[in-house]
Amino acid sequence: MRNEDLDPQRSGPEFARAMIEDLRWLGIRWSEGPDCGGPYGPYSQSERRAHYLEAWRRLRRGGFLYPCTCSRKDLALAASAPNDADDEPVYPGTCRERKDAAEFTEPAGVNWRFRVPEGDVVEFADLNLGRQRYVAGSDFGDFLIWRRDDVPAYQLAVVVDDAAMRITEIVRGADLLKSTARQRLLMRALGYTDLRYAELRYAELGHAAPDYFHCELVRDAAGARLAKRHDALSIRHLREKGLTAEKVLEMAGWP
């Protein structure tokens, strides 16, 4: 159980407590986590900053990162409309070759982007959805690694934690397929999949990389994907309405 609580606006101990309580009520158990410890802790991302900083430094030294000062407005003006369900338009590369990059020696105060290898093909076999193929630079562009407000971005945090925690199977929603391609590039840049890499991470487990299983999203009666704002369908709400854990799991298509 990993508590992904990096965003200070959307996290807090009361949310973590409620999440753990709801999952336990559903009958889900775990052997490592913020409530019970384990060999790869801490298990709350807000306590793992040193790991992300170390990865940021390594990526910066390797020339994989650059500071980006584009405003939201700049990006909106430059962007063509996003062509599918995936979040962000391709970054136009405005800050890629900036001359003053060396002056930024700490992550805070500016956005940091990962320089994707243009034209590189990222392929992986998803255990549910089959072979996936993305082209860096056209399917997705230089993505955020560290935010201006000094919060490590999701892509960096999960890659660092998955490796540090020896995660070998990743199950998540199909809305993150393209992010998996981004994360594969990040894993490669950090050396997590390189057999020659001194800290041998996946290699020592006999895996070249984790396996992936992307699930179709759970949707409401009108076909819209569920989100945190659908409070009427939260586990907590269903439980308070008197539904049993078995019924909730059945509604979610649990086998």
Residues of this chain that interact with Zn ion (CB under 5 A) are 68, 70, 94-95
Cβ at position 58, least distance to Zn ion in Å:
22
Q: Give the residue ranges of DSSP H helices in the chain.
A: 13-26, 49-61, 72-78, 154-164, 177-190, 235-240, 245-251
Whichever of 110 and 243 has its CB closer to Zn ion, that residue is 110
Quote the CA–CA distance of 100 and 149 in Å, as a whole number: 20
SS3 231: helix
Q: Using the minimum distance from each CB to Zn ion, give the nearer residue, 5 or 142.
A: 142
Shortest CB 179 distance to Zn ion, Å:
20
Distance in Å, CB of 134 to Zn ion, minimum: 22
Whose Cβ is closer to Zn ion: residue 73's or residue 241's? 73
Q: Which of 127, 67, 74, 121 is nearest to 98 (CA)?
A: 67
Q: Find the shortest distance in angstroms from Cβ 180 to Zn ion.
A: 25
Select 149 or 169, whichever has its Cβ closest to Zn ion: 149
d(CA 9, CA 136): 31
| Residues contacting residue 229 through CB under 8 Å, at least 6 positions apart | none
Residue 225's SS3 state is strand
User: Smallest distance from the beta carbon of 91 to Zn ion, in angstroms?
Assistant: 7
CB of 95 to Zn ion, least distance (A): 3
Single-letter code of the amino acid located at 17? R
Shorter beta-carbon distance to Zn ion: residue 96 or 166: 96
Instruction: For the CB of residue 152, give the shortest distance to Zn ion in the complex, in Å.
Output: 18
Closest CA to 143 of 217, 59, 53: 59
Q: Which residue has the tokens 């060396």?
A: 102
Residue 170 CB-density burial (10 A; 0-12 exposed, 13-18 middle, 19+ buried): middle
Alpha helices in 30-149 (DSSP H): 49-61, 72-78
